[in-house]
Chains A and B, each alone.
Chain A
Amino acid sequence: MTFRQLKKGHRARIVRFSGDLPHLQRLQEMGLTEGAEFEVMKVAPLGDPVEVQIRGYRLCLRKQETAGIEIELVP
């Protein structure tokens, strides 16, 4: 699944990146590496961006700009 399907309160793990993700390097440097887990804290009132808690801090991302990240839910 991708960020588009995420709801507030979901916990997820990054599985892999698809090859044509444009900002792969920067996303990884922000802590979104393969295997990293995060929790969805909030979705903005207009549906985007999404606020996640990852590596102990809060980061907001646009769904469209994270379209190449494959994630899976963590129970």
Chain B
Amino acid sequence: MARLALVGNPNAGKTSLFNALTGGSQKVGNFPGVTVEKASGHLRLGDRDVQVLDVPGLYSLQPVSADERVASQVIRGMRKTEAPLDLLVCVLDATNLERNLFFLSQVAELGKPLVVALTMTDLLEPTVAGAMPTSLSAMLGVPVIAVSAPKNQGLSELRAAIETQLDESMPPVDWLEQFRQARIADFASTLDHHSHWVLPETVEKLLEEPSESETLAAEQLEKLQLLRDELKPTRLRYAWAQQVAQSVLPIGISTRSRRVTDRIDSILTHRFFGLVVFLGVMFLVFQSIYTFAGPMMEGINSAFSWLGDVVSPRLESTPMLQSLVVDGIIAGVGGVVVFLPQILILFFFIALLEGSGYLARAAFLMDKLLGWCGLNGRAFIPLLSSFACAIPGIMATRVMPDQRSRLATILVAPLMSCSARLPVYVLLIGAFIEPQFGPLWAGFALFGMHLVGLLVAIPIVHLLNRGVIKGQRSPFLLEMPPYQAPKWRDIWFTIAIRAKVFLKTAGTIIVALSIVIWALLYFPRSEAQQTQWRSEYAVLTPAQKEVVSEDAFLAQRQIEQSYLGRFGHAIEPAFRPAGFDWRISTAILAAFPAREVLVSSFGILFSLGGDVDEESTDLRKSMQAATWPDGKKLFTPWTAVGLMVFFALCCQCMATLATIKRETNSWKWPIFTFTYMTGLAYLAAVLINALSKLWGAG
């Protein structure tokens, strides 16, 4: 099967074209062994099936970062895991010709058959745009086709050109060498006619061997030095690009879209109104993830619990299978699907903001602020989204081209206080802060919990930048593309691909771990013990039975003697310095896969059954009444604060870890994140308990 790659600058419209050419046949994964995303699809040309590769956008084939090296190797056909390419389609942005031609000239030097797809011509004056493909094609000697992917224009011409080039495969000529020789000949002709070295060959020789130029006059030596500077590779390439661009696009022509963009930008990047609009947009995005996703998530939760209720009776005869299917598999899959609304909503906004050009403005406005924290402007949306949920937040770091900043952002995103921590805060504040200190302090506590992770993240980023994250630091270079109308097809593809990637890669890990945790809670279990507990329950007084139902009693006993409960007992000494007993320890362990589980675990551990929520007054009362074996209160406000800070800092979310694994393509970073966050959470909880002792003593 023939293989072709779409290459070009970032923002040139490459992905739009890829979506238009390959339609629904796309597959997204990583290039083996690295984090660079590989998107491929199929293109039918007559009876021929062509594989199309969407290579990440590049400014140059000379890589600066490790990711660019991968993309550049793929284009050059030097990546071992990738079959060589038969044809390159270079996407050329007609509104940004010079810089795009710079890259095109590098691509042309690879000697591969080449087709140029000219995009964004609809943003130019029609008369200029109409003549551009023909004149460019004449100058470059390769087919140049004007395309508009959103309007499906020029696509059949492009397919025809691809087909012809695949059959005839005529590599382009070396434009740059021609240009260089012309420049030298030009220089030679400006020199004094009476001297003896006017031939271009002579100039070449002088450039190569400076010793030959000793005979020259000072003035001519200076001219020669200027020429030598001019012929440096990057300058020469840009001089060529400038010459080509100016011959097809009259100089100083301000495009219509540029003028509109400047007018919009005078508000959107204004020092006051720009920030107001920015805050408004971010509020809308955040509210949408935080609030609008809520009902959908509840819907998914009730759909899965309904499914559990339907399946459960059918498996009544084999209780273990019943529990595995209902509490393990169905709950595990539900725990994956429940994240979809937030992912879909966030990526809808990211696709919309990125495609329209606003994302670049947001990064422009926020760069200085995030620069102080050791990040850059592009980290804003990922971090803000992480306050709703770290999973879409981490996935959103795809908008960051600089690998170092991207990794730093991924590693601190789980510190932002996500919505799953909210039930934990509500329960503990409601039970231990509000009754004693009133609603005002309750509000402060809730706000403080949201601030803790953010404040801790700042020194962490600086430490990470200093020691942990290696590799070349890229400069912050941000292109401000003209504003464009949203392209719904591209938005739809972005959302669909992100959802698919999450379900497939993170989903498998989450379901597998859910089953492991289920097993740790279910085993060991014996009928004999259950019978014994039932008889223990039977002798309780009616007043006691009033408080604890039989099911809740059995569940409490089972969790206590399950592997996880035993582990909770065993680990209690380690949590003692934080002021946590075996019940809190077990609840923390049970909450490692998903932190919101804490509430239902407390429900079971305090003998109320698993069906409690964070607003439950019964649960609050039981927790307020809970004591240590010596009769001292288990929970003080200090314990509650310690536990909340523990939850604020701890990485109790396997979906986040699975997402980090997928986005960094390595187990190293999820393990690192888990370790540093858990360590930090533990230290903070111990510190708070120690402070409470000091306070009590003082």
A35, A45, A57, A62: the one within 8 Å of B475 (CB)? A62
The DSSP consensus for interface residues of chain B is helix
A25, A30, A45: the one within 8 Å of B477 (CB)? A30
Binary contact track B298-334/A, C-beta < 8 Å → 1, others 0: 0000000000000000000000000000000000000
- Min CB–CB distance A66 → chain B (angstroms): 8
Binary contact track B466-500/A, C-beta < 8 Å → 1, others 0: 00000001111111110000000000000000000
Binary contact track A24-54/B, C-beta < 8 Å → 1, others 0: 0111111101111000001011111101000
- Min CB–CB distance B546 → chain A (angstroms): 62
Whether the pair A30, B274 counts as a contact (CB closer than 8 A) is: no
Q: A25-B64, A29-B60, A29-B234 are in contact. Are A56 and B97 (CB under 8 A)?
A: yes
Binary contact track A9-22/B, C-beta < 8 Å → 1, others 0: 00000000000001
- Min CB–CB distance A43 → chain B (angstroms): 9
Whether the pair B98, A27 counts as a contact (CB closer than 8 A) is: no
B60, B64, B271, B476: the one within 8 Å of A49 (CB)? B476
- Min CB–CB distance A64 → chain B (angstroms): 9
Whether the pair B478, A60 counts as a contact (CB closer than 8 A) is: yes
Which A residue sits closest to B270, measured CB to CB?
A45
Cα–Cα distance between A42 and B365 once the two chains are bound (Å)? 11
Whether the pair B62, A49 counts as a contact (CB closer than 8 A) is: no
Most chain B beta carbons < 10 A, residue from A27, A36, A46, A65? A46
Which B residue sits closest to A21, measured CB to CB?
B475
Whether the pair B59, A44 counts as a contact (CB closer than 8 A) is: no
| Chain-A contact segment, one of B144-152, B367-375, B663-671 | B367-375
Q: With an 8 A cutoff between CB atoms, is A1 at the interface?
A: no
Whether the pair A31, B364 counts as a contact (CB closer than 8 A) is: no
Which B residue sits closest to A55, measured CB to CB?
B98
Question: Which residues on the B side are within 8 Å of A60 (C-beta)?
Answer: 360, 363-364, 367, 476-480
Whether the pair B367, A62 counts as a contact (CB closer than 8 A) is: yes
Which B residue sits closest to A65, measured CB to CB?
B475
- Min CB–CB distance A23 → chain B (angstroms): 4
Cα–Cα distance between A2 and B625 once the two chains are bound (Å)? 68
Question: Which residues on the A side are within 8 Å of B229 (C-beta)?
Answer: 34
Cα–Cα distance between A23 and B62 once the two chains are bound (Å)? 13
Question: Which residues on the B side are within 8 Å of A56 (C-beta)?
Answer: 95-99, 245
B95, B96, B271, B475: the one within 8 Å of A27 (CB)? B475
Q: A25-B62, A59-B479 are in contact. Are A46 and B99 (CB under 8 A)?
A: no
Q: With an 8 A cutoff between CB atoms, is B242 at the interface?
A: yes
Binary contact track B254-272/A, C-beta < 8 Å → 1, others 0: 0000000000010001111
Whether the pair B367, A44 counts as a contact (CB closer than 8 A) is: yes
Cα–Cα distance between A34 and B98 once the two chains are bound (Å)? 15
- Min CB–CB distance A70 → chain B (angstroms): 14
Q: With an 8 A cutoff between CB atoms, is A61 at the interface?
A: yes
Question: Which residues on the B side are within 8 Å of A59 (C-beta)?
Answer: 477-480
Q: With an 8 A cutoff between CB atoms, is A4 at the interface?
A: no
Question: Which residues on the B side are within 8 Å of A46 (C-beta)?
Answer: 365, 367-369
Q: With an 8 A cutoff between CB atoms, is A58 at the interface?
A: yes
B234, B272, B360, B481: the one within 8 Å of A28 (CB)? B234
Q: A31-B238, A56-B97 are in contact. Are A26 and B364 (CB under 8 A)?
A: no
Cα–Cα distance between A51 and B473 once the two chains are bound (Å)? 21
Whether the pair B238, A49 counts as a contact (CB closer than 8 A) is: no
Give the interface size bracket for A toward B.
Answer: 20 to 34
Question: Which residues on the A side are within 8 Å of B235 (C-beta)?
Answer: 28, 33-35
Interface members, chain B 55-74 (any A CB < 8 Å): 59-60, 62, 64
Whether the pair B102, A29 counts as a contact (CB closer than 8 A) is: yes
Whether the pair A65, B476 counts as a contact (CB closer than 8 A) is: yes
B99, B234, B272: the one within 8 Å of A55 (CB)? B99
Q: With an 8 A cutoff between CB atoms, is B140 at the interface?
A: no
Whether the pair B476, A45 counts as a contact (CB closer than 8 A) is: no
Whether the pair A31, B102 counts as a contact (CB closer than 8 A) is: yes
Question: Which residues on the B side are within 8 Å of A28 (C-beta)?
Answer: 234-235
Whether the pair A51, B364 counts as a contact (CB closer than 8 A) is: yes
Question: Which residues on the A side are within 8 Å of B476 (C-beta)?
Answer: 49, 60-62, 65
- Min CB–CB distance A50 → chain B (angstroms): 10
Whether the pair A26, B269 counts as a contact (CB closer than 8 A) is: no
Which A residue sits closest to B93, measured CB to CB?
A57
Cα–Cα distance between A73 and B270 once the two chains are bound (Å)? 25
Question: Which residues on the B side are within 8 Å of A44 (C-beta)?
Answer: 269, 364-365, 367-368
- Min CB–CB distance B304 → chain A (angstroms): 46
B64, B360, B377, B477: the one within 8 Å of A61 (CB)? B477
- Min CB–CB distance A30 → chain B (angstroms): 6
Most chain A beta carbons < 10 A, residue from B245, B371, B476? B476
Q: With an 8 A cutoff between CB atoms, is B353 at the interface?
A: no
Q: A44-B364, A45-B271, A48-B367 are in contact. Are A57 and B99 (CB under 8 A)?
A: yes
Name B's A-contacting residues (CB within 8 A). 59-60, 62, 64, 95-99, 102, 229, 234-235, 238, 242, 245, 265, 269-272, 274-275, 360, 363-365, 367-369, 371, 377, 473-481
Name A's B-contacting residues (CB within 8 A). 22-23, 25-31, 33-36, 42, 44-49, 51, 55-62, 65
Chosen A-B contacts, 20 in total, with CB atoms closer than 8 Å, are A26-B475, A27-B477, A28-B234, A29-B102, A30-B99, A31-B238, A36-B238, A44-B367, A44-B368, A45-B270, A45-B272, A48-B371, A51-B269, A51-B480, A55-B238, A55-B242, A56-B98, A57-B99, A58-B479, A61-B475
